[in-house]
Amino acid sequence: MTHTTYREALRAAHHEALTRDPRVFIMGEDVGRYGGSYAVTKGFLDEFGAERIRDTPLSELAFVGAGIGAALGGMRPIVEVMTVNFSLLALDQIVNNAATIRHMSGGQFSIPLVIRMATGAGRQLAAQHSHSLEVWYAHIPGIKVIAPATLEDARGMLAPALADPDPVVIFEHAQLYNLEGELADPPPQVDIAHAAVRRTGTNLTIVTYGGSLPRALAAADELARDGIDAEVIDLRVLRPLDWDTLVASVRRTRRVLVVDEGWKTCSLAAEIMAGLVERAFYDLDAPLARVCTEEVPIPYPKHLEDAALPLPPRIVAAARRLCGQRAAAGS
């Protein structure tokens, strides 16, 4: 076992990819001389050179388009977008080109492109750098959307993403970069197809992903002291969703709480709730519930930012409401 951080796990995955496959290169704002906005590519420019670690101009539309062209030409580009808010400047390339070229070419062309970006709030960076727009991408056919929330996934998800013949968008919650823990050596292999049960339970299923996973696990620990045994599901893959794992959990616990840092309206939480009603309605003993970010641009002041986000106290309160009779009975 090796003590490491989420950031260093990502860095090790990228280093391995660059070392193993000469077609892999990284491009984006400040990935070279600066070492990446979150230090994931620190030292790579000196080791791999400017041909493979490419600093780009401040134009997401241009360098994501260049990544698509490189993927069409046989390369395996990793495009880093500094934050999800800035990725909106590249939506035309991602939605109208990367996601559609295989379909529009009748299967003649594929786009083996990986796009990484930071997402999420909690760092007092206000509305320009703090939103969670993962559902915008999970809405789009033709791309795969993943959200590593653990050291193992940070270390292991890049390799299968690079091996995928179609575009993969990776969302890294900015509050996870300093997450510390033990990672097996060699690291375990992971997939980009399945959700994971991070905590087993019998009274309630909490469904979440990304930066909300540690919050959900902390809430589950507090609920256990109330006699509520919560199961926690880490989606890991936001498109396509792993309905088999979700439905199996619902049939065990019969209650569901979805925790989603996106806004409630048209959210990923809404899609999960609708899908579970379609697939497991008669397995439910209570209405579905969700905890999302308040419907406001993320505020700058710390106390207002905290009030807007789905932090553990709000998760615990929602779970207690959902399981009130069971909690009172101590079961």
- Which letter, b or e, does each residue of 130-162 get, where b requires 16 or more Cβ atoms within 10 Å of its Cβ? bbbbbbbbbebebbbbbbbbbbbbbbbbbbbbb
DSSP string computed for 96-157: IIITTHHHHTTTS-----EEEEEE---SS--TTS----HHHHHT-TT-EEE---SHHHHHHS
Q: Which two tokens stand for residue 270?
A: 């809404």
pLDDT of the residue at 326: 44
Domains in the chain: ranges and CATH:
2-183 (3.40.50.970), 196-329 (3.40.50.920)
pLDDT of the residue at 329: 39
In the chain, what percentage of residues exceed pLDDT 70? 98
pLDDT of the residue at 57: 95
pLDDT tens digits, one per residue of 55-70: 999 999 999 999 999 9
Summarize the confidence of residues 15-40 as an average pLDDT.
96
The pLDDT confidence band at residue 97, using thresholds 50, 70 and 90, is very high
pLDDT of the residue at 225: 95
pLDDT of the residue at 128: 86
315 vs 330, more confident:
315
pLDDT tens digits, one per residue of 139-150: 999 999 999 999
Q: How far is CA 222 from the centre of its chain?
A: 24
Q: How far apart are CA 307 and CA 82, in angstroms?
A: 25
Summarize the confidence of residues 244-258 as an average pLDDT.
98
pLDDT tens digits, one per residue of 216-246: 999 999 999 999 999 999 999 999 999 999 9
The pLDDT confidence band at residue 327, using thresholds 50, 70 and 90, is very low
pLDDT of the residue at 324: 82
Q: Which residues are catalytic?
A: 60, 129
- Cut 0.85: pTM above it: yes
pLDDT of the residue at 123: 87
Query: Mean pLDDT of all residues in the chain?
Result: 95
pLDDT tens digits, one per residue of 277-296: 999 999 999 999 999 999 99
Q: What is the DSSP-derived secondary structure letter of residue 300?
A: S
Q: Which two tokens stand for residue 330?
A: 């101590």
